């Protein structure tokens, strides 16, 4: 999510959701994922899942557990709901260096936009 004032970006929010490992194991049994071989990352070994929040909350580890999607099986597919509340007062990507790229930064090969 990005918020602009005129052409200037004033806020950026980037996040990630997680699936239960048992569900991901089932997905990896399907084509085209079978061609990838064994999974190399579980939630328990994912540094983002295991990490703390960078927004000053009391969440110091396993922040991914707060972003785990609860799936509902619908025969041939699954569905889920997600509600996000963004607090613009926290600032934009507070743990990122402006223009560094990667999470919170501009896409590779683009010039960094203005930051608050």
Q: Could you report the per-residue pLDDT of 4-49, keeping only the tens digit for each?
A: 889 888 887 778 899 999 999 998 999 999 998 888 899 999 988 8
* Closest of 85, 79, 97, 107 to residue 15, by C-alpha: 85
Please list the residues that pair with 8 across neighbouring strands: 5
Taking CA atoms, 19 is separated from 3, 24, 48, 61, 81, in Å, by: 28, 7, 13, 17, 13
Which residue range forms the structural domain that includes residue 68?
A: 18-81
CA distances for 46 relative to 50, 55, 68, angstroms: 6, 19, 13
- In the chain, the number of structural domains is 2
Cα(62)–Cα(44) distance, integer angstroms: 9
Q: Are residues 88 and 75 in the same domain?
A: no
The segment with the largest mean pLDDT, out of 12-16, 48-52, 87-91, is 48-52
Between 9 and 89, the more confident residue is: 9
Same domain (yes/no): 88, 76:
no
Tell whether 43 and 69 lie within a shared domain: yes
**Residue 32 preceded by cis peptide, ω within 30:** yes
| 38 and 68 assigned to the same domain | yes
Residues 42 and 71 in one domain: yes
């Amino acid at each position: 999510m990005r918020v602009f004032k005129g052409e200037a970006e004033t806020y950026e929010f980037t996040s990630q959701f997680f699936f239960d490992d048992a569900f991901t194991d089932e997905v990896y049994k399907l084509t085209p994922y079978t061609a990838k071989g064994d999974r190399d990352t579980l939630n328990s070994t994912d540094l983002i899942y295991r990490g703390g929040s960078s927004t000053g909350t009391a969440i110091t580890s396993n922040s991914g557990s707060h972003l785990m999607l609860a799936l509902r099986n619908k025969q041939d597919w699954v569905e889920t709901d997600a509600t996000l509340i963004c607090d613009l007062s926290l600032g934009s990507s507070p743990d990122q260096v402006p223009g560094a790229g990667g999470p919170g930064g501009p896409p590779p090969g683009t010039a960094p936009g203005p930051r608050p």
